[in-house]
Structure 1
């Protein structure tokens, strides 16, 4: 069975819960492997042609077209031409909800060449490239407009129907959603398996089959990512942060944190003014971070 990955987006600045960057893929040497995440993602093809497989269905997009990847949709990206260049915009689901847009339970058409949305992409690219004062506020406002256009012109349905737990992927998605809502307290595998209506043994087996890691390993990685964000933005002690994020002891928290990031949590206090550690997209390998994608400023891009 092909191993899939859940991508957890980490936002260094909680007031800027947006990821925007430009990607280049090459037909012979790179692609974005199958993965999914809770946040909506939009890809605007600048040049070339891309094939985005979404929940098993190929979506072909050429220059000037926008691919909309719905929340929790399994997707991969490859180049259909020798090279494809595209803008990638990811908006945090909590940020969207704060603007009264529920992007988790809504479904949108996968492909559009909406002129207004294309213009918004270009302005976001300019703002991100130039990084003038208040550019992040400008991008937030532009994302609000982008959401309005999505709901006006691309909305298919809004549904709160409970996921069908007979499907393995649906089970894992439901479990991950539950973990993200309850990771900051003592949460057991019995509780999770009971919530999704299957045995603990079966749950642990299919979680490892699909994601490549155990549920407990996933829980502590989610906790560590949240801890990294808290330590970066708030004046908390390591012990306080450990307690907030659901760890039973500071020593165990430090051990887990170091295994995820390669350095102890105390390191953040000493290096708050330096660039954050994190993995970035490799244009040639096409591999994307399994758990962390940062919202750093995009590299300069000729438009």
Structure 2
């Protein structure tokens, strides 16, 4: 999963329903202009999304992205109970779909249900600034689903790579080499390099530089250090090399981060 494109998304809930269906409940077939995220807590229903049938029951989560054709009917002998969120993104031009399957099973955690119940209380009682609070709670729900999905995708990452990553994060200011990292996990440097790139999509060196640059950016943004001081504290002995690496990672030179801090201050 590419995480960056979801970091900037801010949801705006248009409709929330604690849906306790009657036996003849249905959603009429139509194209939706919002995203539908529904948590099934009881009963059963048939959903039709772009012509494909999905039977959902307690414990399932259904996600229907904006632009889809949606239709639904509950089971007459097992009327559905669900919590449904219809939402858009605050940025009007953004219509990014979430990376969820139409129906997801076994992701209804106690934590998510607690957030849903708190959301329901806020949405129905409408205290001052309730939409802001509701938006924050719903974003927590989406965050937990995204984080759980990401963890499942990376669950099979080699423990030796995890150990190397932890070592890099803990000791990024030090002089780290592929040879020393390979010794840490008892592998040949060439094999570790291939394994690391296979598991992370980047080389050890590029990963080290990214960790160093991210920390350098935070130090420059916080103020109190010159560019050369930050370079040294983040593991770069050559300021010119540091500036080149910083610009290649961030798209702008480290001096810009320092100036932004001066402007904001």
| TM-score, normalised relative to structure 1 | 0.44
Which one has the largest radius of gyration?
2
Instruction: Name whichever structure is richer in helix by fraction.
Output: 2
Larger RCO (CA within 8 A; separation ≥ 6): 1
